[in-house]
Amino acid sequence: MSCHTSKDSLHAVGMKVTKAREVLLRVLEASDHPLTVDEIYDRLAQPRPGRPTIYRNLERFIQEGWAESFVDKNQIQRFLRCSTTEHHHHIHCEKCQRTTELDGCAMTKALSQLERQCGYKVTRHQLQIYGLCPGCQKALTLK
Amino acid sequence: MSCHTSKDSLHAVGMKVTKAREVLLRVLEASDHPLTVDEIYDRLAQPRPGRPTIYRNLERFIQEGWAESFVDKNQIQRFLRCSTTEHHHHIHCEKCQRTTELDGCAMTKALSQLERQCGYKVTRHQLQIYGLCPGCQKALTLK
DNA sequence: TCCAAAACAGAATCAAGTTCTATTTCTGTA
DNA sequence: TACAGAAATAGAACTTGATTCTGTTTTGGA
């Protein structure tokens, strides 16, 4: 039984194991949708890390590929845990906010075609996909 | 000779023709890359509209489909003029910041395939593509 | 157990963006 | 051309997400 996943991960990349880091990873993992720093803050039991600590560590997590952030439509940064460090995208349910990690990237072909069309050399891209999750679709048809 | 394009556009949608709006549209049109509100502000001759006026009108322009905004990596909102109200994307040069409007959307097929795979009903998406424009590629190979 | 480096706390600060109210500008009508 | 009502602007004040800074605490290897 492995109760030490986060500890091991932290060690593996040479980061010290601190309360703040363990609890932050736990909060991110427990959520099925991306969280703002305020939401993370509210979910932490006292005594809890301060906001600067939260920001600093989330930044580190992103560097390691353990998490991603994006800016939502209210211009607030949201953070979510990723289960893979491979390039991938997410789909967000517009109704319940649930976020699902997608396998791989569906755009590779379209992008190489694009390169030929516009003359640019594509280096990277960001894609946010929004929709209705299966559960919310069902809820709508029942009305 | 049509010197009244912006005036006509404003009338067409029932917006009053004001100095602020004309000058804002002109600044957006004159730039080949997306501008922050501060950059727009700096390009306006005095007496110039205040920041609230700039934000308010850019918002209106976006509603009309005349412009788009996105949040850059420093979390600052940037605005760019669009030549079409059709759904489309842009590619940004990472070196010179130039932005090019792309024809149509290359993702339609990939998204409907995605729907079948993940069970979500896709409602909308955002795509930012980054790369090197033809000019900057050439400049690199000459070094 | 001890020590140096790393990490944290918390107040202060920064700055993008918004709100609010008084004033000005625009445009249709006479 | 003058007027009136509606729309828009000016500019100060405010909100708030995010960062900086300094002194203190924690971590982990020796």
pLDDT exceeding 90 applies to what percent of chain B? Answer: 89
Give yes or no for residue B61 having a pLDDT over 90.
yes
What's the pLDDT score for residue B46?
A: 87
Indicate the pLDDT class of residue B2, thresholds 50, 70 and 90. Answer: very low
What's the pLDDT score for residue A97?
A: 93
Sequence ranges of the domains in chain A: 1-84, 86-143
Indicate the pLDDT class of residue A4, thresholds 50, 70 and 90. Answer: low
CA gap B108, A37 in Å, rounded: 34
Does domain A86-143 fall into CATH 3.30.460.80? no
A1-84 matches A86-143 in fold: no
Chain A CB contacts of B109 below 8 Å: 110
A58 touches strand C (CB under 7 A): no
The shortest C-alpha distance from B14 to chain A (Å) reads: 27
Q: Please give the mean pLDDT across all residues of chain A.
A: 94
Q: Is A101:A82 a contact under the CB 8 Å cutoff?
A: yes
List, for residues B76-129, the tens digit of each pLDDT value. Answer: 999 999 999 999 999 999 999 999 999 999 999 999 999 999 999 999 999 999
- Residues B38-61 have a mean pLDDT of 96
Chain A CB contacts of B113 below 8 Å: 106
Class of domain B1-85 (CATH, top level): mainly alpha
Topology annotation, domain A1-84:
Arc Repressor Mutant, subunit A (1.10.10)
Indicate the pLDDT class of residue A1, thresholds 50, 70 and 90. Answer: very low
CB–CB contact A131 B122 (8 Å):
yes
What's the pLDDT score for residue A92?
A: 96
What's the pLDDT score for residue B143?
A: 77
- Residues B19-28 have a mean pLDDT of 97
List, for residues A51-85, the tens digit of each pLDDT value. Answer: 999 999 999 999 999 999 999 888 899 999 999 99
Indicate the pLDDT class of residue B4, thresholds 50, 70 and 90. Answer: low
Measured to protein CB atoms, the chain C nucleotides within 7 Å are 6-11, 16-20, 25-27
**Residue B53: left (phi > 0), alpha (psi -120 to 50), or beta?**
alpha
Per DSSP, helices labelled H in chain A are 5-12, 19-30, 37-43, 51-63, 108-118, 134-142
